[in-house]
Structure 1
Amino acid sequence: MPTERTELQVRTGVEGDLEALTDIYNHYVRETPITFDTAVFTPEERRRWLLSHPEDGPYRLKVAVAGDSNEILGYATSSPYRAKPAYATSVETTVYVAPHAGRRGIGTLLYGALFDALSGEDLHRAYAGIAQPNAASTRLHERFGFRYVGTYREVGRKFGRYWDVAWYEKEL
């Protein structure tokens, strides 16, 4: 496990990262209500998702890598908010950090790099849905200027119960 002093680098995600990114995401599928996916994925099943985040454009994938070991410690994405054309200047953003790497500022580092990369794009708003409760994610989003706009009550069912999702938006 990396130490607190491990130098972190943020770069664009590439196909060689697919297995590690899938492992991180599957942890949240299996163990938390943070994602509403309920079945784990194989790397091959996640390939299309990875390829939908090219190096440039409004839909990005940034990964945090431990400089000494090249271990992927987390990732952040911007993805289409909705499929209809009028939503083209809006994105939904997410951050996932490896379970052993939390509380080290990795989410902050990733979001900083993601929003820097998006600054030159023709985008108007970013949205984030946060399954409740999730105080750490709420703090992260508020730190980046997201503001609360409303809650979808009991919108998802996972682990035998219903979960609320609080929605946040940020001007880009």
Structure 2
Amino acid sequence: MTAALHIRDAQPADGAAIAAIYAPFVADGWVSFETEAPDAGAMTARIAEYGSSHAWLVAELDGIIVGYAYASPHRTRAAYATSADIAIYLARDAQGRGLGRLLYTALFERLRSRSIHAVFAGIALPNPASIALHEAMGMTPVGIYREVGWKLGAWRDVGWWQRLL
């Protein structure tokens, strides 16, 4: 990566850029199970909701946000407090350049500092690129929810990967 790369905490003002990165994943495929792309306000609310308790990070190249990664509670019951779900999204032209690994490395460090012990990633299948990234980050498959979501006219499976931090 070049010296122009910067990974930082997401700020409320980043909501529009994050929404723009995420929208194609909602509209053009089944990677996200949302059916309507959230707008900048909705993304700003998500950053506020989990940015301080877990983490929301953005990757900037030459001052432009090209990706983000975040963590949220795995479940709401107290015994799950040290587990988190994670996700990452990169702009199409930023994929395949190592940014995903850098974002997840920073995210995992942040989560460790917040006493998160286990992270989980749900990956809508098939998605070989996402599986490769998550496994490169030391995550291992733990199961598949079969036909758990209906999107784009078909049932979709979600595989789950886990890593202990």
Q: Scaled by the length of structure 2, what TM-score is found?
A: 0.94
Of the three residues 65, 72, 84, the one matched with 2:60 is: 65
Give the partner amino acid of 1:50. I
Given that residues 27 and 35 in structure 2 are in contact (C-alpha distance below 8 angstroms), is that contact kept between their aligned partners in structure 1?
yes
Counterpart of 2:74 in structure 1 is: 81
CA distance in 2, matches of 1:11, 1:46: 16
Q: How many residues in Structure 1 have an aligned counterpart in Structure 2?
A: 165
What is the DSSP-based 3-state SS (H/G/I as helix, E as strand, rest coil) of the residue aligned with 2:50?
coil
CA distance in 1, matches of 2:89, 2:99: 9
User: Which ranges in structure 1 are unaligned for 5 or more consecutive residues?
Assistant: none
User: Map of 1:15-164 to 2, 5 A cutoff?
Assistant: 15-54=12-51, 56-57=52-53, 59-66=54-61, 68=62, 70-164=63-157
Give the partner amino acid of 2:104. Y
Question: Identity over aligned residues, as a percent?
Answer: 38
Give the partner amino acid of 1:18. G
1:96-139 residue CA offsets vs partner (Å, 9 max, x unmatched):
00122111111111001111112222222100000101111111
Deviating beyond 4 angstroms after TM superposition, the runs of 4 or more aligned structure 1 residues are none
1:50-107 residue CA offsets vs partner (Å, 9 max, x unmatched):
10133x54x10110001x3x11000000111112222111100100001221111111
RMSD: 1.4
Give the partner amino acid of 1:140. L
User: Which ranges in structure 2 are unaligned for 5 or more consecutive residues?
Assistant: none
Q: Scaled by the length of structure 1, what TM-score is found?
A: 0.90
Of the three residues 2, 5, 8, the one matched with 2:5 is: 8
Given that residues 27 and 99 in structure 1 are in contact (C-alpha distance below 8 angstroms), is that contact kept between their aligned partners in structure 2?
no
